[in-house]
Amino acid sequence: MNPAINKTTIDNIMPLFEKYLKTLNGVSDDYWEEHIINAEFYEITINEKSIGYFSVYNKEKITQFYMFDEYLNHSQPIFKKVLEKYKINSAYVSTSDQLFLSLCLDFHSKVFMQAYFFDGTVNVGVRPAEYGRDCLFEVDPNEFDDVKTKTGDFFDFVSKSLLEQGVIKLYKLCEDGEDLGYGIIVPNKLLTQYWANGMITLEKYRGRGVGRSIQMHLSDICKENGYIPISGCWYYNQISKKTIESAGRFSKTRLLNITF
């Protein structure tokens, strides 16, 4: 089999892309999505018939590889050809993506643990939030500069215009007029049933249940709007992991950074 590979766009392969999304058996957050949305797409064809596609981020990292089931017996040599032809150095692959994960492991040199993805599909019983919902307020876009001053580079991916447009929702948890921490809701662009929830607690208020309370209230906001709350955190950030789990979310999915 000698497949042809042609550069394309996500719009041109949308039917393929939608089939791919249905194969995933776990949640994935906005960080994962950005490495797909901002990637370059390539279609795989045989005799001008589309059989699959893949995406490459920043010219060197493969972030998707999908083929129709009836052609999967050819997937390994085609994947190898892709790695060699496009000089792919690494992959971001979710453990919810069985085919892509398997192929990456076939050719890997090292596997690095990148992130946890947390699922809020199931209502896990947890103790009440330390701070009530009445302590949570939406941040006015005009307050955003002050928030960034207090939180460093944590919200570098957020712009004031996104807040003004309502694309992203930013919240603050307050007590006695003091900001204790901040939470953010980022709607997923690909797996649109999910809203990703993030939080940061200001250093002097850590260890008091601030982050946990924020996560619990953001979760309620998601559910009230008909969406499933999810979260992600760096694999080695055990404090964030414990905070998210204590708010009632669980993780059965990992993001791996695999080098070839």
The reported pLDDT for the residue numbered 45 is: 97
Q: Residue 157 corresponds to which tokens in the numbers above?
A: 């991916």
The reported pLDDT for the residue numbered 124 is: 80
Percent of the chain past pLDDT 90, that is, above it, reads 97
Which pLDDT band holds residue 122 (cuts at 50, 70, 90)?
Answer: confident
For range 104-129, the mean pLDDT: 94
Own/partner pairs, 176-183, CB within 8 angstroms, 24+ separation: 179/147, 179/150, 180/131, 180/135, 180/205, 180/208, 180/210, 181/205, 181/210, 181/211, 181/214, 182/139, 182/147, 182/151, 182/155, 182/214, 183/136, 183/214, 183/215, 183/217, 183/218
The reported pLDDT for the residue numbered 188 is: 96
Which pLDDT band holds residue 116 (cuts at 50, 70, 90)?
Answer: very high
Q: Looking at the whole model, is its pTM more than 0.75?
A: yes
Residues listed for the chain: 260
What pLDDT digit, counting tens, does each position of 223-240 carry?
A: 999 999 999 999 999 999
Q: Architecture of 4-108 per CATH?
A: 3-Layer(aba) Sandwich (3.40)
Block residue for tokens 């150095």:
89
Segments making up each domain of the chain, as ranges: 4-108, 119-255
Q: What is the CATH number of domain 119-255?
A: 3.40.630.30
Which pLDDT band holds residue 135 (cuts at 50, 70, 90)?
Answer: very high
User: Is there a shared CATH topology between the 4-108 domain and the 119-255 domain?
Assistant: yes
What pLDDT digit, counting tens, does each position of 61-110 carry?
A: 999 999 999 999 999 999 999 999 999 999 999 999 999 999 999 999 99
Distances (CA, A) of 160 to 61, 79, 146, 195: 30, 41, 12, 19
